C-alpha cells in the first residue's frame, strides 16, 4: 500500500465529520445515572477481571453501557458549549472512563462495539472550535496506545484523522504531539502491513 493511501486512511472522516445535522439535545436531570452505582459496577468489574471471571454477557453489557455513557456526556458538553455554559462532563469523567477503557478484558468487546467513535468524539473540537482540556487529550491518547486497533477500526471510526491532526498541530503541546506522532507511526507500521506480512 502506498504512503499516500496510508495517509488517506488515517485522515479519513475529519474532526467535524460526525453525522451532518446531528443535534445535541439537553440531557435531562440525572441522565448520566447514579455516579456511585457506576463506580461500584466499575470496581466490581475490575475485581472480576483480576480473578479472570468476567463472563461474555457482562463484558458486552459493560461495553455498551460505557459507549452510551460517553455519548451522553459528549452530547451534554456540546449542548452546554453551544449555549455558552461550562462543558465539564468529559473532564469530570475522563479518569474513571479511561481506566475502564484500558481494561484488557474489555478492549476487544469495546472495539467491536465501536468505542473508537466515542473516543474520537471526545478528542474533537467543541462546537465553538476550542480543543478539549489537555487532560482529556493526554488520557485518551494513552488509552489508544493500549488498544489493538486494526485497519477496519480506523476506517470505520475515522479516529486516525483527529490523532493525525494532533500530531501535526503546531499549537499542540509537545507531549500530546509526541504521543499522537507515536500512534500514527504505530498504526502505519503495524496496521497497514502488506498483504501476507507478519
What average pLDDT values come out for the chain (198 residues) when binned by 10 residues? 55 44 32 49 55 79 97 98 98 98 96 98 98 98 96 92 97 97 90 63
For the stretch 112-162, pLDDT in tens is 999 999 999 999 999 999 999 999 999 999 999 999 999 899 989 999 999
Domain ranges of the chain: 3-15+34-191
CATH code reported for the domain at 3-15+34-191: 1.20.930.10
Closest CA to 13 of 187, 182, 162: 162
pTM over cut 0.95: no
**pLDDT at residue 52, rounded to an integer:** 56
Amino acid at each position: 500500500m502506498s504512503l499516500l493511501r496510508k495517509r488517506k486512511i488515517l485522515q479519513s472522516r475529519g474532526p467535524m465529520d460526525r453525522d451532518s445535522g446531528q443535534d445535541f439535545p439537553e440531557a435531562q436531570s440525572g441522565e448520566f445515572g447514579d455516579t456511585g452505582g457506576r463506580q461500584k459496577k466499575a470496581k466490581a468489574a475490575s475485581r472480576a477481571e483480576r480473578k479472570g471471571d468476567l463472563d461474555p454477557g457482562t463484558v458486552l453489557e459493560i461495553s455498551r453501557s460505557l459507549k452510551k455513557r460517553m455519548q451522553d456526556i459528549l452530547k451534554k458538553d456540546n449542548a452546554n458549549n453551544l449555549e455558552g455554559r461550562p462543558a465539564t462532563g468529559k473532564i469530570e469523567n475522563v479518569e474513571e472512563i479511561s481506566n475502564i477503557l484500558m481494561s484488557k478484558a474489555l478492549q476487544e468487546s469495546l472495539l467491536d462495539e465501536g468505542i473508537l467513535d466515542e473516543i474520537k468524539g471526545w478528542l474533537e473540537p467543541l462546537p465553538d472550535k476550542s480543543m478539549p482540556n489537555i487532560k482529556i487529550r493526554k488520557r485518551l491518547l494513552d488509552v489508544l496506545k493500549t488498544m489493538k486497533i486494526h485497519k477496519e477500526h480506523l476506517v470505520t471510526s475515522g479516529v486516525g484523522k483527529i490523532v493525525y491532526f494532533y500530531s501535526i498541530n503546531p499549537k499542540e503541546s509537545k507531549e500530546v504531539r509526541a504521543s499522537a506522532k507515536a500512534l500514527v507511526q504505530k498504526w502505519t507500521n503495524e496496521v497497514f502491513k502488506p498483504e501476507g506480512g507478519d
